[in-house]
Amino acid sequence: MIVLNETVLKHVKIISTSDVIENGYVVIKNGLITEIGVGSPSIGFGSQIDLDNLIVMPGFIDTHTHGIKGFDVTTCKSPYDILTMSKYYAEHGVTGFLATTVSAPLDTLLNVCKTVEEAMSYWRSEYGARILGIHFEGPYINPEAAGAQNTAYIRFPNLKEFKNLYENCKGVLKQITIAPEVGGANEVIEYAKAVGIVVSAGHTNASYEDGLKAVEMGVTKATHLFNGMKRFHHRDPGISMALLQSPKVYLEVIADFIHLHPAVVKMVIDYASPDRVVLITDSIAATDMPDGVYELGGLKVVVQGGICKLESGSLAGSTLTMEKAVANIAKLGYSLSSIAKMASLTPIKSVNMENLMIGDLKQGYRADLVVLDENYRVVKTMVNGVFVYEK
């Protein structure tokens, strides 16, 4: 780890969400980007790091990840487990993430709130990726679309319980996945919207018409589009089509080319644009671990060839990392600026956290960035002007 109050990254290919600068430089002071330009800065600065024409992009933001390297958000008991996850995420270019649970008993979710809140209070730049808050994926979902969620813990939306969760989470709850067609969903959606929590539709069998109503009520995001949703049919398109067609809805995409065919990923991006597509990993504790047997929400998950499945054969999260998702999207022919939107800026916008000034490379933004080689492998990760990972 290197901590620098003032530094310049030079001889780099700078990728912002709106521009590409060849042979550029980035000046960083007190954790902020103070200058970006071509060539060399006009005046001398402190420490200078020559990156030999490597790529510099905004740090990746993962708004849907359950775990990594043996750690699972839902079962973490210590805030230091979450902080360790921050370190591991940074190795993959992630500079901010939402700690994501699966359906679980109320006491478990309350404990996750406490653990994540403590981890956020302890976090410093040198720990790694920013802990942006919590994403509850469930428990208010449709058991018929459970996927890898444990049906023992899925329940009807309960406004009293949800208010209890919100009040005990002390502001760290940022997003909840809910099936909008199940009984009691409307009340929870309305309340969540009123208190500023992003509502994402997922693990749902809702119809196209129900999907449109949900968007009117306050749903602004789709949880892993097409996965865990009523299957699309040309005479019965289902909620996935409603979410895709709604211009104010952000669309999570698992770009491992396992959950979605590459042609489907390309169709979604081309139709909705990078301004709406949110690249996620949906990663579980098996990420960066050997093939074997793992657990997710009390369910047995078998990992073979990096592919996670329940014993029934259903997909159960992923071992995808954000830099692999970026490399996959690059294979589809999209510009690096478009990819920077989908991996960084659009995710942070999808959870209404633009005020943090992260997700792009611009003057005045925080120096949260990733350095990549020509194959999109992470060489260095910086958070708040601090190198938290170096290969």
Active site amino acids: 282
Q: Which two tokens stand for residue 19?
A: 């521009």
Closest CA to 237 of 198, 257, 211: 211
Handedness of CA 70, 72, 78, 79 (dihedral sign): positive
Q: Which two tokens stand for residue 89?
A: 């995420």
Beta-carbon-side half-sphere exposure of residue 95 (alpha carbons within 13 Å): 32
- Contact between 74 and 82 under an 8 Å Cβ cutoff? The reply is no
> Residue length, the chain?
391
233 CA to centre of own chain: 28
Contacts of 214 (CB under 8 A, 6+ apart): 180, 181, 185, 189, 201, 206, 239, 242
Q: Which two tokens stand for residue 364?
A: 């005045």
Closest CA to 101 of 86, 110, 112, 114: 112
- Contact between 301 and 285 under an 8 Å Cβ cutoff? The reply is no
> Beta 130-137 vs 94-101: how paired, if at all?
parallel
Q: Which two tokens stand for residue 137?
A: 């994926």
Question: b/e for 359-390, b at 16 or more Cβ within 10 A?
Answer: bbbeeebbbbbbbbeeebebbbbbbbbbbbbe
Q: Which two tokens stand for residue 198?
A: 């992003």
SS3 258: coil
Place of tokens 């993959």: 92
Closest CA to 175 of 261, 296, 64, 28: 64
Q: Which two tokens stand for residue 115?
A: 């653990």
